[in-house]
A and B are shown apart, each in its own frame.
Chain A
Amino acid sequence: MSKYTDHLGRPLVAITGLGVVSSLGQGKQDNWEALTSGTSGIHTITRFALDNLRTQIAGTVDFLEESTEGASALSQELALLAAEEAIAQAGFPIHDFGGPLFLAAPPVELEWRNRFALDALVRSEGEPGYDLLLAACRRGPQPEMFNTAEFGYIAEVLAETFGTRGLPITLSTACASGATAIQLGVEAIRRGESDRVLSIGTDGSVSAEALIRFSLLSALSTHNDPAHKAAKPFSKDRDGFVMAEGSGALVMESLESAISRGANVLGIMRGCGEKADDFHRTRSKPDGSPAIGAVRASLEDAGIKEDAIDYVNAHGTSTPENDKMEYLALSTVFGDRISSLPVSSNKSMIGHTLTAAGAIEAVFSVLTIQTGTIPPTINYDNPDPAIVMDVVPNEKREARVSSVLSSSFGFGGQNTCLVMTAEPN
C-alpha cells in the first residue's frame, strides 16, 4: 500500500472541487451558511397553479432565469452552475476539463406547454390527439422541443461547455442517482481510465405533473402550512417527502495526480457500495437487508470499520417508510452506538432533490469534514420513539468529523452509500 493507493492497492480518489445549488441559494458559501443555521428552503409553490393539489409546497429553485423555462432548461442550468463552481475550485481550465462526465439527470418528457403549442399549430385541422401533434411536427422540425425530450441532450451541452472527454454517461437510479454518478466516477479513476472525473447530480423537474405523480403514490408531505415545517425526518408526525430542486457537482481525481499538480485536497472519496432490492417497486424488503448490504458494502469498499464513522449524512426523506427502514439499517450496522452517533438529514431544510440528492449531500458531507460543523435535522419537534437516534436536532453542532457515511435509497430498489474521509489512511 503506497501513500496513493488504498487497502486493495487501488488509486485513492481525492475530492478537489465542489459545487452546489439548492433552494437555499447558489454556491457553497450561501448554502452552507443557510444549512448550518437551520434555514429551510421549502416554500409555497409559485411556478404553477395549485388548485386541486393536496401538496402545494416544494423546495424549488426560483431565483434563476431558467426557473420558469421547463425541467430540461432548469436541470441544465443547475448542472452548469454547480459544475462551474466545482471545476473552478479544483483549478482546472473551465472549458477544457479533460476527464469524463457522469451526469445524474431526471428523466423528463415533453412539457405540456410544448404539447399545447404543437396543438395550436394545427388546431383547425382536426380532433386533438397524438395524430395531430405528429402532423404538427411534419410542418417543420421543432429542434428546441426535440432537445428537451432527448435524455442525452444536457450531458452533450455540459460536455461541450466544459470540454469533458469521451461519451458522457447520463444516468438515473432514482433517488440514488447523484451517488451513482459519484460511484461511476470513482470506479473510472480506480480503473485508471482517467486521472480526473466530473460527477454531477441535477434536478430541476418540479412541475405539476411530476408533483401529481408522486402525490398519487402518497409519497409527499401535505403539511402545506407552514411550508418550512413540512420536511421532518425521523419525527413521529412525518408524512412524506418534499420535492425539491438543485444540483451538486464533484471534481474527483487520483490522489497522486492531485498532489502532483499541487491541488488542494478537500477530502477522500474512500468507498462506494450498493445493493439492489428485489422486494417491491416502492417499498423496501422488511428485513432491511438490501440497505444494510449497501452500507456494509461501502464500508468494506472504503476499508474501514463502522466504528470509524463519525457522522451519517442520512437519506432521511421524511416518509414514514424510508426513515423507519433507514433506522433499521443503521441500527443493524452500528449496533448500540447508533443512539450516540450523529445522524442528520439535509432534506429537513432543502427537501428531497431527487436525482441530485446524492451529489448535493456528498458536497455537504465534505463541507462537514472541512468545517467541523454538522448541519442539523430541523423540525425535530416530535421525536419518533421507535427511532432512537442522535439526529442533531434543530441546531448545528461543532464536532471533529473525519469520516462520513452518506446514504441514498430510491424507488426501484436502488441503494447506494458513499464513505468520505478527511485523510487517505
Chain B
Amino acid sequence: MQNNTVVITGIGLISSLGEGIDAHWNAFNEGHAPRVDSDTFKPYTVHPLSEVDWNNQIPKRGDQRQMETWQRIGTYTAGLALQDAGIKDDESLCSTMDMVVAAGGGERDVSVDTQILAEARVRNDLGTMLNEKLTTELRPTLFLAQLSNLLAGNISIVHKVTGSSRTFMGEEGSGISAIDTAVARIRSGQSTHALVGGAYNSQHPDMLLGYELNGMLKIDGWSPLWQRERATGGGIVTGSGGAFLVLESAEHAHKRGARVYAAIDGIYSAQTRRGRIDLTQTVAKLVGAASADKAADLIISGATGAKIVTAAEKAALDTFSSPVVRGVAGKLGHLREAQFPIVVALAALSVFKGTAFPPVDSENEKSGPPSIDTALATSIGATRGEGVARLVKV
C-alpha cells in the first residue's frame, strides 16, 4: 500500500469575516471586534454571513433558487476552493475528483411551520391539519434545497466535481470524518485529489432550535470564547460560513505545479463515552498523539464555546508546554459541521504564512512565536466526537 504525503492546495472560506483567505487572515490579524448580530434572534447572538455576491461562484440564478442558504454557502465556498487550487473549470481534474461533504440538515420554511403551529392550537385533528397545510403550503423544491446530500449534489451540478460524492452527517464529527476519510484515501492511493468541507447557516431559527433543545446557546450576548463558563445559557454562539479544502497527494500537486499550503501529517479522532471517560484526558491524549514526534508551534482550537466541554479542552491544552492557542470561534462563531474544516484551513494558512496571528482572547491566549512550521487544529464536538489534525510545512 502507498504512503503518500497529503497536501492542501486550495482553501475556500466565507464567514462573518468576509470571503477568501486574505479577508480571513487580515481579520484575524487586525484585532477588530467580532461581527455579531444580537437583535434578529434575540436573546441569541449569531455571527452573520458577510455580504456575498452569489453570482461569483453560482452563475445560474436557477441554481441559486434551488438551494437554501446553507447549500448556497457550501457550493460557493467549494467554488472558491477549486479556484484557489487552480482547478476550477478544469474538466479532467474535476470529473475525476473525489468529494466528501460534511452536511447538516436544511432550513425549514418558517412561515409554513408558523402557520401549522397556529392551526394546531385551534384544531383537534392534528394529522388531518398537517396534511392539509403541508400539501398546499410546502414549496415542492424545498425538500431538495434542504436535503443533506444535495449540498454535494449542487457542487456536482455547479462545479462539475463528479469523481465521487459522499455526504457525512453528525455535527462536528462529520467534519472530522470527512477530512479523515479524504486524507486516508489519498494517503493509501485510493484517491489522488479530493474536495472536502462543510457549510453552516446560523441565521435560521430552526438551526438555533437544534442547539437550544439542549440549552446550549449563550443568551447574554457575545463574550470572549474562553470566558463563557459563567455566562447565562449554554455558551455557544453560532456563526454562518463554510470551509472547503482541495487535498492532493504531494506527487499529484507537484506534477501540476500547484502551490501547497501545508501537508496534513495526521488526523487523530475519537468518540469517547464522555459520561465515563474524562474529556480533558481524551483531548490531552489526542493532542499528545498529534505532538508525539515534536510539539506543535500553534494550536488552532475549534472549541465550540459550550460550557464544560470548552473548559475541558482548555484544561487539556494548558497541560502542554507553552501552548499557543487560538480559539477561533470567539471570532467566527461555531460552524458545527464546518468547524473542523475551517480550523484545519486556518491552521494550514498559519503554517503557510509561517506565523501565528495575534490572540483572539488576549486574557487567555499567549502571543505567538516568531515563526512556526507546525500547527494543530482541534474540533471537540459540543456533544460528541473529538478530532485533531496535524499540519506541517512542506
Query: Which residues of A does B touch, CB under 8 Å?
Result: 48-53, 105, 107, 109-110, 112, 115-116, 119, 123, 127-134, 137-138, 140-143, 145-146, 149-152, 155-156, 159-160, 166-174, 180, 184, 187-188, 190-193, 208-209, 212-217, 274-282, 290, 410-414
Contact = CB atoms under 8 A, between A and B. Distances in A.
B185 A412 contact: no
A277 B99 CA distance: 13
The 4 closest A-B pairs by CB, nearest first: A412-B153, A49-B127, A152-B170, A130-B205
Interface of B: 1, 44, 66, 99, 103-105, 108, 110, 113-114, 116-118, 120-121, 125-128, 130-132, 134-135, 138, 140, 142-144, 147-150, 152-154, 156-157, 160-171, 173-174, 176-177, 180-181, 184-185, 188, 190, 205-206, 208-210, 212-215, 219, 233, 269-271, 273, 381, 383-387
B199 to A, nearest CB: 15
A169 B181 contact: yes
B180 to A, nearest CB: 8
B149 A173 contact: yes
Contact of A208 (B130, B143, B215): B130
A235 B166 CA distance: 31
A134 B117 CA distance: 13
Contact of A129 (B114, B157, B185, B384): B114
B117 A413 contact: no
A167 B177 contact: yes
A343 B32 CA distance: 64
B212 A48 contact: no
A79 B160 CA distance: 34
B117 A115 contact: yes
A170 B168 contact: yes
Given A141-B213, A212-B135, A173 B162 contact: no
A281 B161 CA distance: 14
Contacts, number: 249
A187 B190 contact: yes
B157 A278 contact: yes
B385 A152 contact: yes
A282 B144 contact: yes
B314 to A, nearest CB: 22
A108 B387 CA distance: 25
Contacts of B214: 141-143, 146
B169 A152 contact: yes
Contacts of B166: 171, 173, 180, 184
Contacts of A413: 153, 156-157, 162, 165
A411 B269 contact: no
A224 to B, nearest CB: 15
- Which of A152, A156, A166, A290 has the most chain B CB atoms closer than 10 A to its own CB? A152
A382 B153 CA distance: 34
A109 B108 contact: yes
B188 to A, nearest CB: 5
A276 B184 contact: no
A149 B105 CA distance: 9
B132 to A, nearest CB: 5
25 contacts: A110-B213, A112-B116, A115-B113, A128-B120, A138-B212, A140-B215, A142-B214, A146-B214, A150-B383, A151-B171, A167-B177, A167-B270, A167-B386, A168-B173, A169-B177, A170-B173, A171-B167, A173-B165, A184-B166, A184-B181, A212-B138, A217-B140, A278-B157, A290-B162, A414-B153
Given A156-B384, A191-B184, A411-B144, 19 more contacts: A105-B169, A107-B169, A110-B209, A123-B121, A141-B213, A150-B170, A151-B169, A151-B171, A167-B180, A172-B103, A208-B130, A209-B130, A213-B138, A217-B144, A274-B164, A290-B162, A412-B150, A413-B157, A414-B153
A137 B140 contact: no
Contacts of A138: 212, 215, 219, 233
B215 A137 contact: yes
B215 A51 contact: no
Contacts of B177: 167, 169
A192 to B, nearest CB: 6
A184 B181 CA distance: 9
A51 B99 contact: no
A276 B99 contact: yes
B163 A276 contact: yes
A269 B156 CA distance: 28
Contact of B174 (A123, A131, A152): A152
Contacts of B169: 105, 107, 151-152, 170-172
Nearest to A160: B273
A281 B131 contact: no
Contacts of A192: 1
- Which of A150, A193, A217, A414 has the most chain B CB atoms closer than 10 A to its own CB? A150
Given A192-B1, A193-B184, A53 B215 contact: no
Nearest to A142: B213
A162 B386 CA distance: 20
Contacts of A191: 1, 184-185, 188, 190
A110 B154 CA distance: 25
A108 to B, nearest CB: 8
Nearest to A416: B164
Contacts of A112: 116, 126, 130
B9 to A, nearest CB: 21
A208 B127 contact: yes
B164 A275 contact: yes
Contacts of B117: 115-116, 119, 128-129, 132-133
A121 to B, nearest CB: 12
A138 B211 CA distance: 11
A151 B174 contact: yes
Contacts of B143: 213-214, 216-217
A150 B171 contact: yes
Contacts of B269: 166-167
Contacts of A414: 149, 153, 165
A116 B180 CA distance: 39
A49 B152 contact: no
Contacts of B188: 190-191
Contact of A170 (B121, B157, B174): B174
A170 B176 CA distance: 12
Contacts of B125: 49
A193 B210 CA distance: 34
Nearest to B162: A276
Contacts of A130: 110, 113-114, 205-206, 208-209
B167 A172 contact: yes
A280 B383 CA distance: 36
A97 to B, nearest CB: 14
A411 B271 contact: no
A275 B138 contact: no
Nearest to A210: B143
Contacts of B162: 275-278, 290, 413
Contacts of B165: 173, 274, 276, 412-414
A155 B128 contact: no
Contacts of B99: 276
B104 A281 contact: no
